Structure 1
Amino acid sequence: MTHKPTTPHSILFVVPRFHTNIFVATKALVKSGYKVSVFAVSSRAEEDHSIVQPVVFGERPSLRKLRRAMKQADPDLVFLRTSRPLSYLVAHMCSFGRRKLIHYNQRPLHFPRKWYEIWEWWLQGLSAERVTPRLGNDLSQPADRYATYLPWPVEAVEGITRVPRHDGPLRVICVGKLMQPRKSQDKLIEAMEDALQSGHATLTLVGSTGTATGAAQAHYNKLHDLAKRSNGAIRILENIPYSEMPQLYARHDLCVLPSRNEPLGTSPIEAMAYGTAPLVTTGCGSACYITHRKDGFVVEQRSVPALKAMMDELIASPELVAQAGRNAAETAKGELGPQTFVKRVETLLDR
């Protein structure tokens, strides 16, 4: 078990918003005795602030408010994600060794930066050190010497009981913004068309919405049109609070993210904690968390035939899905678990 620090370290996350992918990370650190603060540019209704209440600064941060918040947080370590102008101001307050700062981005570990990118940080009095939750697809490439692999953890909420499938249809869930065409929910529906029509599978689309025009609005309209014509095989759930997602994951067998060019894609990884098998494309950054056919499945991005072939196999092989789900839950407890994450952060603190 991870020890609680005698003198609690203070850790600050500076982010565009308190995304669900860092909720378990902040919770794990708090449970291990750390003081955790989050500075964000904006906030959304579906966020969970039950553990850490973010300080929201808006698009034009008040310097007085920021100085006061920094004094109160008094961080020993700052994880800084680009969220200008907030991130620029915090970086300036940490420059030239005043506070330990580590950049956070989703650029793969195996994707070295150009020399001038590193020098740009050094000239500002900032460390070139960064963390990333992505290994990258091409591990033959050299790793960034200043980068550390730090996957965000997942954890099952206590009291959530998995609902077994029995002999019914394969229950598929897809979580992603409903107005973002690159999430490719329409391609998943195309790949599942026969199974949905025959009753061998059901599909739940979960995602946030907002104001959109053009291609984004057209994508949203298309999904609703396909759902209406599915005779109930497809249902759409909009703007579901993060706190309600565990129940949804536990009621499904497979969590699919068919995205193209997805920087990370955490919903299938969150689902793993509940014994729900993940299926992602090679275009998802989170593909590096999955061992194909062991604790999940990975298919080529932009290929409906490849996705359909995988879906057809899984629909016909319930035990393959069930075993992958059991293995996924073990991966979530171990390599992707909260205690593993805290140990990795402690290593960063000790440098």
Structure 2
Amino acid sequence: MAKYLFYLPRFHTNVVPWVRLLRQAGHQPAVHVSYEGPTEDRNSLVPVAVAPSSFFKRNEKSPPIDRVPSFRAVWRGMANERPDVVIVRGISRALSRVALICALFQRRRIVIYDQEDVVPERFSTWLRRAVFRSLGIPHITTRLPIGPLKRTFGEAIPVPFANPWVSVSGFRDEYAGVAILMVAKYRRRKGHSALIAALARLKDEFDFRVTLCGEEASPEDVAFCGEICRQSEVLGISDRVVIRNNVPHKDMRHLYVAHDIFILPSLNEPAAVSPIEAAWSGCAVLVSSDTGTRGYVPPGRAFDFDARDPIDVARCLAGAMDSPDSLRRMKDACLNHIRSVADDPLIIDKFEILAGVK
């Protein structure tokens, strides 16, 4: 049995499956955070909120994720948890840096977790990893390699995101066409506009319905959602667009199961979890070629596209909708692929090696 302590500036649902797996394997994980976020899943995990420093209390204009933690709170929290390994999310945020310092002085085993490529293209990432590796501190990344790896001193250990569902329930309704789903916050880089433009090109050739699932947490979100609705009306597909906003995470698996295709035409996406949730739910998953979680989807142009080009997005969608047989093959390929790269025993093995129990 090992004790794992995660330090995350922002609590995100993607850590919950890791915690579940570690508990099932008999380990003791804990999560300490600066900021919890309003829509994350706390049904099976309640993170510990680290108290801010008195300096932060006097400077509350800082974003919550950047709040400076109380050094004493971090030190005592770590000492009380007595972890075998401390996993720090990056080194750019105040909580991560303070946790790293405390772990060094307490002589804990340390791992730095980022969402960069296994073998990074950016020299700054390579250099950071190489420096810490020389100090005996490895990096892990949630990105998976695509193709053969070229070994370098600046590479990270790939540790996949885990299966988010204990079980998948729900059903595909009686809609005769192809049900398409996009799950993303209302941000321009997510690619809503490119998706609507791509679907407009396919409206006369295929029978489909698209569900846009987002988060309306601010007036800007509401305005952007309205903008997308107006675009779909201008392009003549408003009758095929369904808006589902602010869906609780506990209900998301029902939404995935009710759809055939999941698509995320996002630009510069570091590590989207929604394609992983969709693949585990049996969807055919289509993603932009540069997304950080591209490795969780089968290789080949049938499953990816250039998110800057609505014509290429349309090409990828058309391939999936070409026939019921091709759609079924793509669904099976996505589920089989993610089982091969992110199965539970593989992930547990990686974490046990990190903690020194293997």
TM-score, length of structure 1 as denominator length = 0.85
Q: 2:9 aligns with which of 16, 35, 56?
A: 16
* Structure 1 residues 265 and 118: alpha-carbon distance in aligned structure 2, compared to 1, 3 A threshold: closer
* Structure 1 residues 18 and 194: alpha-carbon distance in aligned structure 2, compared to 1, 3 A threshold: same
Cα contact 2:34–2:95 (8 A) shared by 1: yes
Q: Secondary structure at the match of 2:26?
A: coil
Alignment match, 1:281: 288
Alignment match, 2:163: 154
Alignment match, 2:88: 80
* Structure 1 residues 263 and 139: alpha-carbon distance in aligned structure 2, compared to 1, 3 A threshold: farther
* Structure 1 residues 73 and 98: alpha-carbon distance in aligned structure 2, compared to 1, 3 A threshold: same
Does residue 66 (structure 1) correspond to residue 74 (structure 2)? The answer is yes
Does residue 26 (structure 1) correspond to residue 19 (structure 2)? The answer is yes
Does residue 111 (structure 1) correspond to residue 120 (structure 2)? The answer is yes
Q: What is the one-letter code of the residue matched to 1:222?
A: E
* Structure 1 residues 119 and 306: alpha-carbon distance in aligned structure 2, compared to 1, 3 A threshold: closer
Alignment match, 1:203: 210
Q: How far is the alpha carbon of 1:343 from its aligned partner?
A: 1.2
TM-score, length of structure 2 as denominator length = 0.84
Does residue 42 (structure 1) correspond to residue 47 (structure 2)? The answer is no
The aligned runs of 1:178-327 (5 Å cut-off) are: 178=186, 180-196=187-203, 200-211=207-218, 219-227=224-232, 230-292=237-299, 297-327=303-333
Does residue 130 (structure 1) correspond to residue 135 (structure 2)? The answer is no
In 2, distance between residues paired with 1:119 and 1:340?
A: 25
Q: How far is the alpha carbon of 1:133 from its aligned partner?
A: 1.4
Give the unaligned 5+ runs of structure 1: 1-7
52-61 vs 262-271, greater mean Cα deviation: 52-61
1:10-39 deviation digits (Å, cap 9, x = unpaired): 111111222122221111111111111111
* Structure 1 residues 325 and 98: alpha-carbon distance in aligned structure 2, compared to 1, 3 A threshold: same
Q: What is the one-letter code of the residue matched to 1:182?
A: R
* Structure 1 residues 159 and 134: alpha-carbon distance in aligned structure 2, compared to 1, 3 A threshold: closer
Percent identical residues: 25
29-38 vs 189-198, greater mean Cα deviation: 189-198
* Cα root mean square deviation, aligned: 2.9
In 2, distance between residues paired with 1:232 and 1:72?
A: 57
Q: How far is the alpha carbon of 1:137 from its aligned partner?
A: 6.1
In 1, distance between residues paired with 2:167 and 2:229?
A: 34
1:70-92 deviation digits (Å, cap 9, x = unpaired): 23322111211136211111111
The aligned runs of 1:155-170 (5 Å cut-off) are: 155-158=164-167, 160-163=169-172, 168-170=176-178
Q: Secondary structure at the match of 2:33?
A: strand
Q: Secondary structure at the match of 1:310?
A: helix
Q: How far is the alpha carbon of 1:172 from its aligned partner?
A: 0.5
Q: How far is the alpha carbon of 1:206 from its aligned partner?
A: 1.1
1:183-222 deviation digits (Å, cap 9, x = unpaired): 1011011111144467611111112233365xx7764442
Q: Secondary structure at the match of 1:95?
A: helix
Q: How far is the alpha carbon of 1:302 from its aligned partner?
A: 1.3
* Structure 1 residues 308 and 343: alpha-carbon distance in aligned structure 2, compared to 1, 3 A threshold: same
Q: Secondary structure at the match of 2:179?
A: strand
Q: How far is the alpha carbon of 1:316 from its aligned partner?
A: 2.1
In 2, distance between residues paired with 1:65 and 1:227?
A: 50
Give the unaligned 5+ runs of structure 2: 51-63
Cα contact 1:273–1:329 (8 A) shared by 2: yes
Cα contact 1:79–1:102 (8 A) shared by 2: yes
50-59 vs 133-142, greater mean Cα deviation: 133-142
Cα contact 1:280–1:299 (8 A) shared by 2: yes
Q: How far is the alpha carbon of 1:297 from its aligned partner?
A: 0.9
Q: Secondary structure at the match of 2:355?
A: helix
Alignment match, 1:340: 346
